[in-house]
Amino acid sequence: MKREIKFSLVYRDMWQSAGKYVPRVDQLTRVAPAIIEMGCFARVETNGGGFEQVNLLFGENPNKAVREWTKPFHEAGIQTHMLDRALNGLRMSPVPDDVRQLFYKVKKAQGTDIARTFCGLNDIRNIAPSIKYAKAAGMISQCALSITHSPIHTVEYYTKMALELIELGADEICIKDMAGIGRPYSLGQIVKNIKEKHPEIPIQYHSHAGPGFNVASILEVCNAGCDYIDVGMEPLSWGTGHADLLTVQAMLKDAGYKVPEINMEAYMKVRSMIQEDMDDFLGLYISPKNRLMNSLLIGPGLPGGMMGSLMADLEKNLETINKNNIKNNKPLMSQDQLLIKLFDEVAYVWPRIGYPPLVTPFSQYVKNLALMNVMQMEKGKARWSMIADDIWDMILGKAGRLPGPLAPEIIEKAKAEGREFFTGNPQDNYPDALDKYRKLMNEKQWETGEDDEELFEYAMHPAQYEAYRSGKAKVEFVADVATRKAEKAKAGQPVQEAASAPAVIGLPTTPQVMNVDVNGQPYRVTVAFGDAATTAPASPAQAPAQPAAAPAAAPGAGQEVLSPLEGKFFMVKNASETPLKVGDVVKEGDLLCYIEAMKTYNAVRSEFSGTITAILPASGDSVSEDDVLMTIQ
């Protein structure tokens, strides 16, 4: 009998690799006892990455969710781990240093044992503080190598990186094969090299199934000395998700490894609960194509976690392109045609912006940049004509050191726009912010929470947290679920009624008035279906007016500022910025506001000088391409 291989269930990533959302806290705590009863997991991934933003979008407190979700695993002696984006913490954009330090204290207090830290650029300068902060908080610091396949990302490259991380104090190493495009033999060599130098360091392998390499890769890394394997389970394994527990167990058992046995009765319970949650509402956000493996993913190398939300986003992008096609008497584009154009453009863009590993957030940056290029070129505009500020920060070096050189066309564009390249420590670009958020919370009379967890959440996700506290997030989520259910019924597909889901409503076919409870505050919401648009939430009777969406201002005199794309409107993206207001004077090129789309904030700049005469959307409102955002005279 060979040595023992242990399993980790990546429950968070299973959902987010399949679709847009993860289960609510009531669904998570319902399934936890059955996962424990399966008896085969040494570890469970409970949170991290987009998990907490999803809670906020539900109108759910993410701190309560983490505490309740991790508790049963602790009581059963199962370790919990989370995904941490180093400089970016739990979000898509960089995080101030004091917020990063608080992050680990909060997560340890809430019940998370292991911080799996990765930098999307593999810049060790971004990971080093996380090692220190995680260990100071009493967490296990597991540092990840973000695996991709390029002329730069060789076995030697990753071996050197791993040894440097161990030298800095990493307790464990994760081989994070986020797109599943790591080649089995090379991955085995990386693990072998690490174990030869540091046999005492545990290694965990994480991979997605999409391109089809990962079962072979699992066997290779185990043969080379890997200790833990991340697995998924039906009905969310394979496709853009992970190799299935049953397959991995059978393969390793046949190879002579000691692997845990599985309580199959409990397995079937968990499997049924996952399906029930998909039928409830989560399946409304899962593209059937994400259930398939596809070797086309070898080319663009996009990660499984991102592919889950990509297919949902593409529906809106396709609608925007086809609106323009109809307007210009051009043939309509299919989703498959758009997907191929996107994959081709990713292959064009990626080497020209320095081969950033295709993992969050940089996979989204590369994909968003490629998609914007496709959309702009479809409209007859130039490639690179819309680059979000966060993407520019990556290109300029503010988020870390790019693995490869930039193409001359990118350097020329940066110089033409007066942008400066940065070679210092990325953290220096993002000053401490906790005092600002503490002051804002005091002004709003909001509690900072147990272990300052509410302060942390506000500082980490300011826009989403405000939408959660106001009730706007829950109202919009409930309305979106209702709309999707109605559209599904209209298409003749069966819709599962959700008896156990407090946030999910039934199946209306005509305009409905819904009563929604948000943090103890009743709301009446009117939702229209079919060709009608969903109306804004109405103010509740005898209730404060601030949670309801403010009525749009009448257009002012002057030139219109149009939204360049579909997304959510924000005047600012963090507390360090001061929002413009009606009456302010702006110059051509000044920053006006942002459109948050595909997890990045896209700056909208003024094309003319003058005085702002009207701002139409409220912060957090959804807008479509070419909607009027404000007027300037």
CB 580: neighbour CB atoms within 10 A? 19
**Tokens standing for residue 358:** 């295709």
Torsion sign (Cα): 458, 464, 468, 472: positive
* Structural contact between residues 336 and 383, judged by C-beta atoms closer than 8 angstroms: no
Would you state the pLDDT for residue 308? 55
Q: What is the per-residue burial (b if ≥16 Cβ within 10 Å, else e) of 185-221? A: ebbbbbbbbbbeebeebbbbbbbbbbbebbbebbbbb
CATH number for the domain running over 1-470: 3.20.20.70
Residue 41 has φ and ψ, to the nearest 5°, of: -110, 125
Alpha-carbon torsion angle 407, 410, 416, 420, nearest 10: -90
Q: Which of 317, 301, 579 shows the shortest CA–CA distance to 462?
A: 579
What is the structure's pLDDT at 311?
65
Phi then psi dihedrals of residue 199, to 5 deg: -65, -20
**361 upstream amide cis, omega within 30 of 0:** yes
- DSSP 8-state code for residue 286: B
Place of tokens 């009525």: 551
Task: Please provide the DSSP assignment of 237-279 as one string.
Answer: BSTTSB-BHHHHHHHHHHTT-B-----HHHHHHHHHHHHHHHH
Hey, which CATH number is domain 559-632, 3.40.50.150, 2.70.170.10, 2.40.50.100, 2.60.120.620?
Answer: 2.40.50.100
Q: What angle do CA 606, 609, 612 make, to 5 degrees?
A: 75
Place of tokens 């079919």: 530
Helix (H, G, I), strand (E, B) or coil at 381: coil
Measure the CA–CA gap between 355 and 559, rounded to whole angstroms: 41
- The domain locations on the chain are 1-470, 559-632
Q: State which amino acid sits at residue 592.
A: L
d(CA 298, CA 629): 40
Q: What is the pLDDT of residue 462?
A: 92
Give the pLDDT score at 293. Answer: 83
| Strand, helix or coil for residue 88 | helix
Low-confidence ranges of the chain (pLDDT < 70): 1, 303-313, 493-556, 598-599
Q: What is the pLDDT of residue 305?
A: 57
Contact 229, 5 (CB under 8 A): yes
